[in-house]
Structure 1
């Protein structure tokens, strides 16, 4: 069964939240697709992942590269799964893909300070529950650590 994790970001950005979650995914041996909503946004995330920390490296590429099937993390804008990922991150309001049940885990990052993003996340939550996915809701505590909420 697909597990869908909803990460409610407040006073945070995707640029701050995504890299550590991707690091944890790689530590677990997972292959990942990060779905953005535009080529420009995917390119911005690509540039950020190369420079977000001086002492870290996240092996990744965009969907445009020739060896995309070999990449552990692929930044994409389409719903396809070019690297055979078992985990998919959805950022900036990217919609659940048609093949959502084929993933072990989907991670939806949404800006809780944006009413439109909040409404999209609520709709996605309802959709995921109706489809029988195992859904969980995560919110950062005062120290910035993610806590599962009910």
Structure 2
């Protein structure tokens, strides 16, 4: 059964935080699905990941080599062999889906009240579905765990 980590972004944008989290997940040896709600947003992240300082091998779902991608950007289903799902912009994740993964990471913008409310609803849904969750917030450039479900 996987854990769910909520990342409340208050100091750095997703574009700065995401490469760090993806790199850590790859370092754990996980295949990662990055789920968003908007294909255009994922295309922009695709360009940013290719042009960033570190190399993060990835692809956008729908290509001929989806099964070979260590990081797959998608608006849809998580590949069967993925161990980690990262969501952004309020992309949905069900308890059943998260239960089969090693880790689910939900990134949300702390300056957007709608995003905060969506994350709270996801916390209730996922912990209500039997998953353990941790809530992390940025403080002075560091991540601090602020809450943990029972």
Bucket of the pairwise TM-score, normalised by the shorter protein:
over 0.9
List per-residue Cα deviations over 1:88-123 (Å, max 9, x = no partner): 000011011452221111000011111100100010
Q: Are 1:127 and 2:114 counterparts? A: no
Deviates more, 1:7-16 or 1:29-38: 7-16
1:3 touches 1:134 (CA, 8 Å); kept in 2? Answer: yes
The residue aligned with 1:23 is: 23
Q: Are 1:105 and 2:103 counterparts? A: yes
Using structure 2 for the length normalisation, give the TM-score.
0.92
Shift, 1:70, TM fit: 1.0
Unaligned runs of 5+ in 1: none
Separation in structure 2 between the aligned mates of residue 10 and residue 21 of structure 1, nearest angstrom: 16
Shift, 1:82, TM fit: 3.1
Using structure 1 for the length normalisation, give the TM-score.
0.92
Shift, 1:83, TM fit: 6.3
Runs of 4 or more off by more than 3 Å in structure 1?
none
Say which of 138, 141, 144 aligns to 1:140.
138
Separation in structure 2 between the aligned mates of residue 147 and residue 65 of structure 1, nearest angstrom: 37
In the alignment of these two chains, the number of paired residues is 146
